[in-house]
Structure 1
Amino acid sequence: MSSLFHTDSRHGPERRVSIGEAMDRLVRGGLPLRFTAYDGSSAGPTDADLGMHLRTERGLAFLMTAPGDLGMARAYVSGDLDLSGVHPGDPYDALVLLKDHTRFRVPTPSEAVLIARSLGVSRLRPPPPPPQEHLPRWRRAVEGVRHSMTRDAEVISHHYDVSNRFYELVLGPSMAYTCALYETPEATLEQAQAAKFDLVCRKLDLQPGQRLLDVGCGWGTMVRHAAREHGVRAVGVTLSLEQAQWANEAIEREGLGDLAEVRHLDYRDVVETGFDAVSSIGLTEHVGVRNYPAYFAHLRDRLRPGGRLLNHCITRPRNTRQETGAFIDRYVFPDGELIGSGTIIAAAQDQGLEVQHSENLRPHYAATLRDWNRNLVEHWDECVAEVGEGTARVWGLYIAGSRIGFERDEVELHQVLATRNHADGRSDFPMRPHW
């Protein structure tokens, strides 16, 4: 800590430092962008294209009481920390720069006290977090069992019951909040989402008159696509009431009421059986790794012998348990859990499903996120008017950060196709894939 505080007999025992000086010395190798603060101090290269401005003492308290991504997220979401040179709807370039060139040295408690004294912060008491922040894991554990039906409903509502109009602006007309499939680099987001749903339908070999169950159906895009394009009778279930209402209105608008329906229901409450196919697109992330056996057993039991299951979800490149980061857990997907595709495949196999095919769409998700950021930038003012600037900032940060994760193979996206075989072992699966 002697590098921060200097003794000089002519000027007293301790020289206080500015915020800029403290930031510069607490970042190994120095800041890669221009940093300025409300006390008039600065740090980092003067000719940098990108900048960061700390506006308030509350923002400083956020940074000091929650070092790392959580503190920066709190300050940024609350408007106490601004980025310049990037749009708040797409801070991708700034996040890449910070990720590649910023290594914070976390101060010890005694160092933090000295920094606080030097910078004029009277206490190291965390300010109240922004309203967009969910409870920490330990508080959620006190208030309910992880992945119980009640707690799952609460956290799903936290993320999805934001505003249907907001999702329309960010996701586009498809209202698909899952990885798209870019058949060419020039494909639009809408073309890529349609290609994804068609791929799922082809992998499931959907035929007119068949029955499809789509669990975690969101706004019903898969249900409507399967009914409209393949003539199946489709049922979707979602824990989000706003999603269910929007989906059923869309079904009626498109004249699909005789083929499709969406229910506000936990997938565990679906009792019908004999479905020809089950699709799960973006649900497994919310299930919990320990619950995979029950999850796959329940979906298996919904299928007829010879029926198919397509599981589409975000995965990790390894099969070791790893909690999501503090920002994602508090602001985006509370209780979300990710693990490698090997664990998912093993869980499906252990419940008597035969895995026929697995495919990694990781680069496609990076492209999907890029296009969601573009939509957010294009409709920024309307998004802010709909949900507030704090929530809009959360989304810009989350989407851009996730894009980096997919680009760098920190996360992946796997589709796993499996069958419930007949008692004699027949799968009704062709000798070679037909899609």
Structure 2
Amino acid sequence: MSIAEIVDSVVDGPLPVALRAYDGSSLGPPDAARTLELRTPRALAYLATAPGDLGLARAYVSGDLAIHGIHPGDPYDVLVDLADVRFHRPSAAAALEAARELGVKGLTPPPPPPQENLPRWRRVAEGLRHSVTRDAEAIHHHYDVSNRFYELVLGPSMTYTCACYPHDDASLEEAQENKYRLVLDKLGLEAGDRLLDLGCGWGGMVRHAARRGVRVTGVTLSRQQALWAQKAIAEEGLAGLADVRHSDYRDVTETGFDAVSSIGLTEHVGVRRYGSYFRFIHDRLRPGGTLLNHCITRPHNRRQETGAFIDRYVFPDGELTGSGRIISAAQDRGLEVVHEENLRPHYARTLQQWCGNLVEHWDECVAEVGEGTARVWGLYMAGSRLGFERNEVQLHQVLAVKPYADGRTGLPLRPWWQA
């Protein structure tokens, strides 16, 4: 039995792409626009010992699996091809043939690519999963890749969160600037007000607010982000209004903020810690202060794992849930939710343009971080784009206020930011 026949035996229905294997066998339509090439026995071993997205990712990131007909910076088209492919257990004959092909050594999982974050810490007690130390290590894995790499992929805004497109022809930079404007306007901030920006990244929101005269404190667990943001603040002459700290958000002790923005942090907090997270925000706000929580969500509120590829290669310990769970947690900690909206299509477009940047600057990105890491990013961003398009994930902005003791919010009638 050939390698192609072994693969064919575990696929439900016809394979929509072509496949070539190192033994010379092939499968799928000969005129397919895209071809998967299993280059080495290790590619087959990865697939056999880690079925699903993890094995495919290992083979692809290591270069043992090549995909022809796509650019590695944007493998979106082949992911669309494979989105509805389903696999089943191999027959006894196919399993025996695979074992013969690989041998005893081949049935032992090969060492994963160096980009994989090994799950040595996954077995700790759930209560320790989002400790300060563990969160810092998870953030370091994803965000401390290379500031230059992020500059090439994200563009001049250095904004690694969903943009908000004001019109169909808007550029990525226009859309990111529009997102920050929307957040600031929803929060109702004016010059002289105080803003706390949690998980501030490279300081995009911090600098946008400071340019409008708002006094801003930003915090990030990524040292490289903090250094980049501090330099950008100084270069723009915003040091009198803006400050970015390399710190866990839980280390912020100041109170009385007029507003809190949390853009892309909730995914890292941990669902079981939502209560303490929203209590922290409540306690940092003055009465009448506002919160804008912007994060990736599920289209439902059930527990669902992120998947092995995302957990090991992209966001260690990341957790997603539905907007309903987020709203309930905020309400349970004394915050009144006054508005929410889903920006799902905007994130699909944002990711498409990030992939475009990665393709455009591919050689420089590879020189900066290595081809394996660049492949991880292309796969992750293209896959995420598809997830947003298929409504497997969403992006919700939730606006809330800390009411006064007598129940007043002090807010004008909605939607004041569209006036």
The bucket for the TM-score relative to the shorter chain is: over 0.9
Q: 1:274 aligns with which of 256, 276, 286?
A: 256
Cα distance in structure 1, aligned partners of 2:280 and 2:33: 53
**Deviation at 1:65?**
0.2
Check whether the contact 1:293–1:348 (CA below 8 A) recurs between aligned residues: yes
User: Aligned letter for 1:91?
Assistant: P
Q: Which residue in the other structure is 2:40 paired with? A: 56
Q: Which residue in the other structure is 2:337 paired with? A: 355
Equivalences, count: 416
Q: Pick the structure with greater CA Rg.
A: 1
Q: Residue 93 of structure 1 aligns to a residue in which SS?
A: helix
Check whether the contact 1:144–1:151 (CA below 8 A) recurs between aligned residues: no
Check whether the contact 2:6–2:98 (CA below 8 A) recurs between aligned residues: no
Cα distance in structure 2, aligned partners of 1:299 and 1:324: 26
Q: Which residue in the other structure is 2:147 paired with? A: 164
Cα distance in structure 1, aligned partners of 2:210 and 2:86: 51
Instruction: Tell me the alpha carbon deviations over residues 268-323 of structure 1, each in whole angstroms, 9 at most, x when there is no partner.
Output: 01000011110000000000111001000001111111110100000001011111
Q: Which residue in the other structure is 1:295 paired with? A: 277
User: Aligned letter for 1:353?
Assistant: L
Check whether the contact 1:275–1:307 (CA below 8 A) recurs between aligned residues: yes
Structure 1 segment 61-80 matched on structure 2, within 5 A = 61-80=45-64
**Deviation at 1:24?**
1.8
Q: Residue 375 of structure 1 aligns to a residue in which SS?
A: helix
Cα distance in structure 1, aligned partners of 2:122 and 2:326: 28
Q: Residue 376 of structure 2 aligns to a residue in which SS?
A: helix
> Is 1:223 matched up with 2:206?
yes
**Deviation at 1:39?**
1.2
Q: Which residue in the other structure is 2:113 paired with? A: 130
Q: Which residue in the other structure is 1:416 paired with? A: 398
Unpaired stretches in structure 1, ≥5 consecutive residues: 1-16
Seen in structure 2, the aligned counterparts of structure 1 residues 198 and 111 have a Cα distance that, compared at 3 Å, is farther
Cα distance in structure 1, aligned partners of 2:22 and 2:49: 18
User: Aligned letter for 1:387?
Assistant: V
Structure 1 segment 371-390 matched on structure 2, within 5 A = 371-390=353-372
Seen in structure 2, the aligned counterparts of structure 1 residues 112 and 40 have a Cα distance that, compared at 3 Å, is closer
Q: Residue 72 of structure 1 aligns to a residue in which SS?
A: helix
Cα distance in structure 2, aligned partners of 1:35 and 1:368: 31
Cα distance in structure 2, aligned partners of 1:166 and 1:106: 40
Seen in structure 2, the aligned counterparts of structure 1 residues 120 and 267 have a Cα distance that, compared at 3 Å, is closer
Cα distance in structure 1, aligned partners of 2:50 and 2:381: 22
**Deviation at 1:136?**
2.5
Q: Which residue in the other structure is 1:29 paired with? A: 13
Instruction: Tell me the alpha carbon deviations over residues 211-261 of structure 1, each in whole angstroms, 9 at most, x when there is no partner.
Output: 100000000000000001x21010100000000000000001111111101
Q: 1:155 aligns with which of 138, 141, 144?
A: 138
Q: Residue 338 of structure 1 aligns to a residue in which SS?
A: coil
Q: Which residue in the other structure is 1:284 paired with? A: 266
Q: 1:257 aligns with which of 239, 246, 255?
A: 239
Cα distance in structure 2, aligned partners of 1:279 and 1:211: 11
Q: Residue 70 of structure 1 aligns to a residue in which SS?
A: helix
Greater CA drift, 370-379 or 120-129: 120-129
Q: Which residue in the other structure is 2:65 paired with? A: 81
Q: 2:23 aligns with which of 32, 36, 39?
A: 39
Cα distance in structure 2, aligned partners of 1:140 and 1:383: 34
Q: Residue 9 of structure 2 aligns to a residue in which SS?
A: helix
Check whether the contact 2:342–2:395 (CA below 8 A) recurs between aligned residues: yes
Structure 1 segment 307-386 matched on structure 2, within 5 A = 307-386=289-368
Q: Which residue in the other structure is 1:106 paired with? A: 89
User: Aligned letter for 1:195?
Assistant: N
**Deviation at 1:137?**
7.2
Instruction: Tell me the alpha carbon deviations over residues 339-369 of structure 1, each in whole angstroms, 9 at most, x when there is no partner.
Output: 0100100000000001110010000000000
Check whether the contact 1:161–1:240 (CA below 8 A) recurs between aligned residues: yes
**Deviation at 1:120?**
4.1
Q: Which residue in the other structure is 2:159 paired with? A: 176
User: Aligned letter for 1:52?
Assistant: L
Cα distance in structure 1, aligned partners of 2:224 and 2:103: 43
Cα distance in structure 2, aligned partners of 1:276 and 1:120: 63
Q: Residue 415 of structure 1 aligns to a residue in which SS?
A: strand
Structure 1 segment 196-207 matched on structure 2, within 5 A = 196-207=179-190
Unpaired stretches in structure 2, ≥5 consecutive residues: none
Report percent identity of matched pairs. 70
Aligned-pair RMSD on alpha carbons? 1.4
Check whether the contact 1:88–1:393 (CA below 8 A) recurs between aligned residues: yes
Q: Residue 103 of structure 2 aligns to a residue in which SS?
A: coil
**Deviation at 1:140?**
5.2
Instruction: Tell me the alpha carbon deviations over residues 49-68 of structure 1, each in whole angstroms, 9 at most, x when there is no partner.
Output: 11010111111100000011
Check whether the contact 2:9–2:94 (CA below 8 A) recurs between aligned residues: no
Cα distance in structure 1, aligned partners of 2:254 and 2:291: 15
Q: 1:244 aligns with which of 212, 226, 229?
A: 226
